[in-house]
Amino acid sequence: MTTPANPPRDTKEPARSGGELFIVDNSDESWKGLRYLQDWTEIASAFDIATGFFEIGSLLALDGKWQKLDRIRILMGDQASARTKQAILEGLRQHVCRKLDASLENEKESNDLLAGTAAIVQAMHQGKIQCRVYAKRKFHAKAYITHPRVAVIGSVALVGSSNFTVPGLTQNIELNIQIRAPGDVSQLQAWYEQHWQEAEEITPDVIKVIQRHIADYTPFDVYTKALQELFEHHTPSEAEWENGESRIYPVLDHYQKEGYHSLLNIARQHNGAFLCDGVGLGKTFVGLMLIERLVMRDKKRVMLLVPKSGRKAVWERNIRYYLPHLLNGFLPFKVYNHTDLMRGPSKAPRNNNMSN
């Protein structure tokens, strides 16, 4: 003989049933969906959960309780639009993982070290907690089938509107009704098994999301990540680069800076420009500024053609003094004598690095 399996509770608590109807709606502070599941962990061996949305916080809210179960299966859905099954599945994976990631970030507000999360990951690795996502159609079902350890009690189901999330189990006004008739529960279990078999495995994806939040990071990892977040989405403007990173720009006089900017503006309009200032006005420094800009900021390949007589005395000497990093062999910068262009391929210099 089976008996209605309502979880044990204090006699002082208000009844959540009228006649044979047993309701869980979160409206009573002492009797919510979370309390219902907590009480069932005392006598159950397994939970089969169907939920439209899933948050890690719901398992963390059951910490110390869910460990008493032998198995938890979570069958979830989420909205994603795509044309092919593979695209739907991939969209669901990404969408579910994004929501899980966001739920973990929210959980840190009250549980900054995410205590209890490592145990969830371990249980997932062991197969004690399994997660699948239903990708065939929009899946928005909510059901909690509890399987007690004592066969005489029989399996019981709670069906309604509560997602397996903290708000769904504790905050929102929901409507969930307990199903106890053995035939009805068996029919519901068959429905669950069918959709579970049709669903796609997502446990490894869930593990990756959680592990990223609880992984141990060295101080160096934290520092480099902070730098990445600071600069990842910010490309320095021309003015920021010139005044903050350039080695030549601060050396230029005001009229040389004007010449440099004029060259850039003319080159943008005509795909080239000539600097024709008189002797002694610093054309070499304006040239060094252009070389630095093209190589270091614009990531261009630069070839400098110079008269042989001025190569060592003027260009090589100033480049070594002001821009020695251009000579490390890793940057796309080469210096040639103008007469090298007159040589055939077999006579072209093999090594165009500056001589010591």
pLDDT band at residue 84, thresholds of 50, 70 and 90? very low
Q: Write the CB contacts of 160 (distance below 8 Å, at least 6 apart in sequence).
A: 24, 142, 174, 175, 176, 177
**Domains of the chain as residue ranges with CATH:** 17-225 (3.30.870.10), 235-347 (no CATH)
Helices then strands, each counted (H, E), the chain: 13, 11
The secondary structure of 256-276 as a DSSP string is: HHHHHHHHHHHHHHHS-----
Cut 0.75: pTM above it: no
C-alpha–C-alpha distance, residues 328 and 304, integer Å: 16
Q: Dihedral of the CA atoms 288, 292, 295, 299 (nearest 10)? A: -140
The token pair that represents 293 in the structure block: 């800009």
Three-class DSSP category at 200:
strand
C-alpha–C-alpha distance, residues 135 and 133, integer Å: 6
Predicted confidence (pLDDT) at residue 183 exceeds the cutoff of 60: yes
Q: What is the pLDDT of residues 23-72, one digit of tens each?
A: 999 998 888 999 999 999 999 999 999 999 888 889 989 999 999 999 99
Predicted confidence (pLDDT) at residue 278 exceeds the cutoff of 70: yes
Question: If you average pLDDT over every residue of the chain, what do you get?
Answer: 83
What pLDDT, on the 0 to 100 scale, is given for residue 265? 93
CA nearest neighbour of 155 among 130, 125, 192:
192
pLDDT band at residue 149, thresholds of 50, 70 and 90? very high
* Residue that the structure tokens 């065939």 belong to: 136
pLDDT band at residue 202, thresholds of 50, 70 and 90? confident
